[in-house]
Structure 1
Amino acid sequence: MSADVAASLSVLALVVVVSEVTRRLLIGPRAGTGLAVYAGELVSTFQLCCCTHELKLLSDVGGIEPQLALTFTYLAAVIHGLTFRGAIGNPSGVLVHAYHAKLPAGCALRRIACQFAAAGAARAAVRLVWGIGLSELHVRHQLLGFRCSSPIRASFSKAAGVELACAFAVQTVITSTHRLEEKYRVHAVAAAITTMVYAGGSVTGAVFNPAVAFSTQFSCTGKSFLEYCFIYWLSPVLGMMSSVLLSDKLTAVLWRTSSPPHLPLSSKKKT
C-alpha cells in the first residue's frame, strides 16, 4: 500500500471516529428531542462529505486503481450506513420521507438546511486537513490551490440522465430492502451505490446526492452553477421521486390483484 493511500485511509478513519464521538456527545443528552435529529444530520452529512472528498482526491489526483477505488466506495457506504443512526444525509431522501408523510414540511426543510450547512463546512474542513500535508498527495493538491475540474464528460442531457438513473436505481434498492435487517440492508444499499459509481462515474462522477455534490463538485471549474444545479440537484430528485412513485403504483396494483373479490351477500329464499 502506498504512503498516499495509507494517509488517506488514516484521514477517513479519523473522520469517522471524530464524527461518531461528536454524535454521541451531541445526540446523547438530547435524545428524544428535535435537536437530536438536526445534530445527527449535521454530523452525519459532514462525515459523508469529508469522506467523499478524500476518496475523490485519491481517485482523481492520486490515480489509484479503479478496483481499489470501488472497494473503498463500498466500505465507506457500509460504514456510513452503520453509523448514521437515523440520519438521512441526502436532501432527496428527505423529500421522499416528506412525500410519504414521515416528516412534517418544516422538519424536512430544516434537515435539508442542516445537510447543506454540513456540506459547506466539510469543504472547508478538508482543505484545512490537506493543508497540513500528511502525504505527498495532499501537498501536491495544496500546491495546485485545491483546484478541481468538473467530472462531467458528456453532453448536458446525458449527464442529467445518468444522475437521474443512478438515483432511481439506488432508491429502488432502498425501497425494496426496507424490510431487511439493518445489518444486511446496508450491504445491499452499499452494493447498489458502488455499482452506480462504476456505471456512471466516468460520465458525471456518479454523485446522485445534492448535498455531497454541493460540497465536492460545485467549486470545480468547467460548468456553470445552473448546469450543476440541474445535473446534481434536480436530476437526482427526479430520479428518486420517479422510483418512489413507480413503487407506490406497483404496490397498489399488486394489492388490488391479490385481494379477494367482493362477494355479495346471498339473498334469503322466500318461503
Structure 2
Amino acid sequence: MSGLNASLGYFLAVVIFASSVRTLLKKWPRFSFIMELASSFMLVACWLEVQTIVEVGQWAGGLGPDVTVTMLFGVLLTHGIICGGTSGNPTLVTLKFLQLEVMTIPTLLAIAAQFLGAYLARLLAVYYWRLELTDMHMIKNMMASECSTSLLVSGLQGFFTECVCALIFNLIHLSLRRRSALIRVPLIAVLLTFLSYTARGYTSAFINPSLAYGLTFHCPGFTFVEYAVVYWLGPITGMTLALLLYMGNIPRIFARNLLYFQRTRLRVPKGDKAEKKKM
C-alpha cells in the first residue's frame, strides 16, 4: 500500500499545481493558452504514473488491473472536472479550429503549449522516479532508459486503431458538447477508459498527440516518423472524419454540406388556400 499512497500523493500534488495555474491565469485571458499547458501537464504527468502502475505495480506493489483501471478513470474524471474549458489535446483544439471557433494563432499557441506541457510532465515524472520512494518507483527508475512502447502492432495497424478510436471518441464528444458537464465529463471519462483498456494490446488508444508524445515517443522500437503517423496522423484523420460525418462538411475547408441535405418546403399563402377551398 505504500506504493499506492505515494502515487496518490503524486497525483494530488500535480492536480493542485494545475489548479493553481488555471486559477491564476483566469484573470489574464490573453494567456489562456498557458492553461492548455497546465491541462496537458496534468494529464501526462498523471498518466505516466498510471503507466508505471500498469508496468510494475502488480509484482512490485501488489496492484492489479482493477486498481489501474480505476485509477485511470479517476485521473480522466479529475482532469475533466479541473480542466473543464481546456482539453490538453491537440486534436480537440484542431477540431475547434476546423469549426471556425478559434483563429490560427491561438490554435498554434495552444498546441505548442500542450506539447511543452507534455515535455515538462515527462521531466517531472523522471525526477519523481529517481527519488525511488517505493520499490515500484525504484524498478521504474531502473527501467526508465529501456521503457516498453505502447505501440504493440505494426505502424499501419496502429494508424487504423488510433483513427477508429478517434472517430468514435470525437463523434460522441461532438454529440455531448451541449450537454451538462455533470453528464458529459463522466461519460467522456468512461469512454476514454474503455477505449484505452480495449486497445491496450494495440496502441493504448491515447487519441491525443501530446499525450502520446509524453508517454511513448521516447521508447525504442519505432522511429519518430512511425510514432507520428500512428499517434498524430491517426487521431487527426479520425477527428476529421468524425467532423465530416457529424456536420456533413468541414467549415474551415468547405461550407457545402456533402452528406446531409435539408428539404425545403414550399409554403402556400393562406389566401391561396382559402380560394382553393371555395372552388
Shared fold (TM-score, shorter chain, > 0.5): yes
> How many angstroms apart in 1 are the aligned matches of 2:23 and 2:127?
24
2:195 and 2:204 in contact (8 A); partners too: no
For residues 75-105 of structure 1, the C-alpha deviation after alignment (integer angstroms, 9 at most, x for no partner) is 1111111111411211111110000000001
1:169 and 1:192 in contact (8 A); partners too: no
Q: What is the Cα deviation at residue 254 of structure 1?
A: 6.4
Paired amino acid for 2:8: L
4+ residue stretches of structure 1 with deviation over 4 A? Answer: 252-255, 264-269
Q: What is the Cα deviation at residue 255 of structure 1?
A: 7.2
> How many angstroms apart in 1 are the aligned matches of 2:176 and 2:143?
43
Q: Which sections of structure 1, spanning at least 5 residues, go unmatched?
A: none
Give 1:84's aligned residue.
Answer: 83
Asked if 1:262 corresponds to 2:258, the answer is no
Asked if 1:155 corresponds to 2:150, the answer is no
Q: 2:52 aligns with which of 57, 62, 85?
A: 57
Q: What is the Cα deviation at residue 203 of structure 1?
A: 1.0
Paired amino acid for 2:150: P
Q: What is the Cα deviation at residue 28 of structure 1?
A: 3.7
1:70 and 1:197 in contact (8 A); partners too: no
> How many angstroms apart in 2 are the aligned matches of 1:29 and 1:132?
36
**TM-score, length of structure 1 as denominator length:** 0.90
Paired amino acid for 1:56: Q
> How many angstroms apart in 1 are the aligned matches of 2:27 and 2:235?
35
Q: What is the Cα deviation at residue 146 of structure 1?
A: 4.4
For residues 163-222 of structure 1, the C-alpha deviation after alignment (integer angstroms, 9 at most, x for no partner) is 111111111111111121112210111111011012111211221100001111110111
CA 1:85/1:194 → structure 2, altered by over 3 Å: closer, same or farther? Answer: closer
Q: 1:38 aligns with which of 33, 38, 50?
A: 33
Paired amino acid for 2:114: Q
CA 1:239/1:69 → structure 2, altered by over 3 Å: closer, same or farther? Answer: same
Helix, strand or coil at the partner of 1:179: coil
**Matched residues, percent identical?**
26
Alignment of 1:20-35 (within 5 A): 20-25=19-24, 27-30=25-28, 33-35=29-31
Residue-pair matches, total: 261
Structure 1 stretch 210-219 or stretch 53-62: which is displaced more?
A: 53-62
Q: What is the Cα deviation at residue 246 of structure 1?
A: 0.3
